[in-house]
Amino acid sequence: MSEPDAAQGHVTRSVARWRDGRLVEENDQVAEEVPVAMVYNGDTFAVMMATPHDLEDFALGFSLSEGLIATPAQLLAIEVSTLLEGVEVAMHVPDDAPAAHIGAERQRLLPGRSGCGICGTRDLEQAIRQNDPVGVGAKLTREALELALERLHALQPMNIATGAVHAAAWADRAGEIRLVREDVGRHNALDKLLGALRRRGLDPAEGMVLVTSRASYEMVTKAASAGVTLLAAISAPTALAIELARSAGITLVGFARRGSHNIYTHPHRLAGASPESP
């Protein structure tokens, strides 16, 4: 894959660095984090704190993972406007799309902070959503997983510049990374990736999704809603994430490193993943 444009998603700010007994003023690259209003047919559903990059992918991925549209075809138009207060992503959907009827009952009560996937959700049913089981999915090898993990760092230009953003990536059966999206919010990065996959007509089940964060239950829920069959996180899963991955049929991998990883659910998708006898 071609590397993303590193010129977007971060800005230059001055910083006084204390190094070796001296204070030196230099320029530093810092990640952008701005309010992004998600607006459907003129009604604001949520305001997410996000990196203002790949916002059309974000619009589609967020709309699908939140259940606001049933198919990509229901997102008829996207208009991104930069305002004084932040960014507005205005989307147009048909009358039969759930987003056309968000009203007061489905609007988020609080902004979605960069570290929060469900901030402002009103109901328990909206917070803990049960997904339909995913499909069979591709059989993958440990070598493919490790290859993808090895190559991921070089494909995160925003994080290389700032050290402050998460990434979500999709790799094919061979472990070749085909898509990467970055954001200050791990949920946003995953939504951007899922939107990019759908816009390009790629089947998530034909490979694996990697995230540079913990595997919380929201990440599993978003992955399941898109038909992801293998989700690998470089950090830990939560107990609820494991239970939701098990019920959705997702292979959930945590603490993914070169030479080691933990498989918490459905290990059959990784070749040679059956535990050895003591």
pLDDT in tens, 35-86: 999 999 999 999 999 999 999 999 999 999 999 999 999 999 999 999 988 9
The catalytic position among 31, 91, 116, 155 is 116
% of residues, the chain, pLDDT over 70: 85
Nearest by Cα to 86 from 42, 135, 35, 140: 35
Task: Find residue 237's DSSP bridge partners.
Answer: 215
**Is residue 227 pLDDT above 60, yes or no?**
yes
Residue 116 falls in the annotated catalytic set: yes
Domain that holds residue 52: 34-127
CATH number reported for the structural domain that contains residue 256 in this entry = 3.40.140.10
Task: Examine the domain organization and report whether 116 and 66 are in the same domain.
Answer: yes
pLDDT tens, position by position, 82-138: 998 899 999 999 999 999 988 655 555 445 555 555 554 545 445 566 678 999 999
Structure-derived torsion over alpha carbons of residues 156, 162, 163, 168, reported in degrees to the nearest 10? -30
Task: Examine the domain organization and report whether 147 and 261 are in the same domain.
Answer: yes
Contact 59, 38 (CB under 8 A): yes
The model's pTM: 0.88
Sign of CA dihedral 166, 171, 175, 180: negative
Task: Examine the domain organization and report whether 52 and 121 are in the same domain.
Answer: yes
CA distance 31 to 120: 24
Query: What tokens does 186 get?
Result: 């791990």
**Is residue 263 pLDDT above 70, yes or no?**
yes
Position 83 in a domain: yes
pLDDT tens, position by position, 145-173: 999 999 999 999 999 999 999 999 999 99
- Using DSSP bridges, classify how beta strands 34-40 and 43-50 pair: parallel, antiparallel or unpaired: antiparallel
Task: Examine the domain organization and report whether 115 and 180 are in the same domain.
Answer: no
- 3-class DSSP state of 19: strand
Position 230 in a domain: yes
Q: Average pLDDT, stretch 208-216?
A: 96
Position 274 in a domain: no
Buried b (16+ CB within 10 A) or exposed e, 165-183: bbbbbbbbeebebbbbbbb
Domain count, the chain: 2
pLDDT band at 273 (very low <50, low <70, confident <90, very high): low
CATH number reported for the structural domain that contains residue 60 in this entry = 3.10.20.10
